[in-house]
Amino acid sequence: MDRGSGAGPRSGVQVPAGDLRRPDPDVRVMELRAKSPYVGGMGRSGEVTGYRNDGVQTAVALVNAGDATPGELAELLVSYKFKVDRPLTGEEARTLRAWARDLRPVFAETALERVVDVLNALMLSVPMHPHLSDHGLGPHLHYGPPGAPLVDRVRANTAVGLAFVVCERGADRLGVCLARGCDRVYADVSRGPRRQYCSKTCLNRATVAAHRSRKAAPPT
């Protein structure tokens, strides 16, 4: 998949022109070990250390959650260390599902310019107030305004987290699973070769299918 050229699917987000600036990563951050049933992953090799990675994996989980209920969305957010101290309202759940639909083009676009434009538009659409916080976990960076509503905090963290991946690892580390019948997204922040599948299950299924196809092909 070539992120550097070509056109990809269009997002419903209105995209302005602008540059995606590389953020300063030199901030001490906490290590996140949260797991969620909504994330397509390939083990700890696909994880990075840092508070902003929580936003990356939350973005993946939200997109893959589809039409999750308010209760399921609350459970998902708690698994990524968001403070959820009451049940989500129907309106909050609808907003999060709409945000997940807006995030999908970041994974689906094949042109780097489009990925940058979509992310810039998403970040402009969310209240931002980057600030350091220390609530017993060591200094780490928050992106939403202090005291911001949960939905705004989720949107800020996910958009900025994905922007860090694009700046530090490349847009081609974000993608949609290539397995037949699977439309789950993934974020590959490992140091190894670029992934093309959301999970080992899809990778193994595709490998078996390719092997069977080769065996069934007539000799040349």
Query: Tell me, what CATH number does 151's domain have?
Result: 1.10.3300.10
Phi and psi of 144, rounded to 5°?
-80, 160
Going by C-alpha positions, the residue among 209, 210, 211, 179 that lies closest to residue 195 is 179
**Quick count: other Cβ atoms within 10 Å of Cβ 14?**
8
In a domain, residue 171? The reply is yes
In a domain, residue 162? The reply is yes
Among 18-22, 94-98, 112-116, 187-191, the least confident range: 18-22
Confidence of residue 124 (pLDDT cuts 50, 70, 90): very high
Report the number of distinct structural domains present in the chain. 1
Give the chain's end-to-end CA distance (angstroms, integer): 29
Instruction: Tell me the whole-structure pTM to 2 decimals.
Output: 0.71
More confident site: 52 or 41 = 52
3 state SS of 83: coil
Confidence of residue 201 (pLDDT cuts 50, 70, 90): confident
How many residues in total does the chain contain? 220
Q: For residue 123, what are the CA distances in angstroms to 44, 159, 208?
A: 28, 6, 41
Inter-residue contact 147 to 45 (CB < 8 Å)? no
In a domain, residue 97? The reply is yes
Confidence of residue 44 (pLDDT cuts 50, 70, 90): very low
Domain extent for 186: 47-216
Q: Which two tokens stand for residue 131?
A: 């600030």
DSSP string, 7-28: --PPPSS-------PPPP--S-
In a domain, residue 21? The reply is no
Percent above pLDDT 90 for the chain: 46
Q: HSE of 162 in the Cβ direction (CA atoms, 13 Å)?
A: 35
For 134-167, what is each residue's pLDDT tens digit?
Answer: 767 678 788 887 788 999 999 999 999 999 999 9
In a domain, residue 57? The reply is yes
In a domain, residue 95? The reply is yes
What are the b/e assignments for 118-149, b being 16+ CB within 10 Å?
A: bbbbbbeebebeeeeeeeeeeebbbbbeeebe
**Residue 142 CB contacts under 8 Å (≥ 6 apart), including other chains:** 51, 130, 131, 132, 133, 153, 157
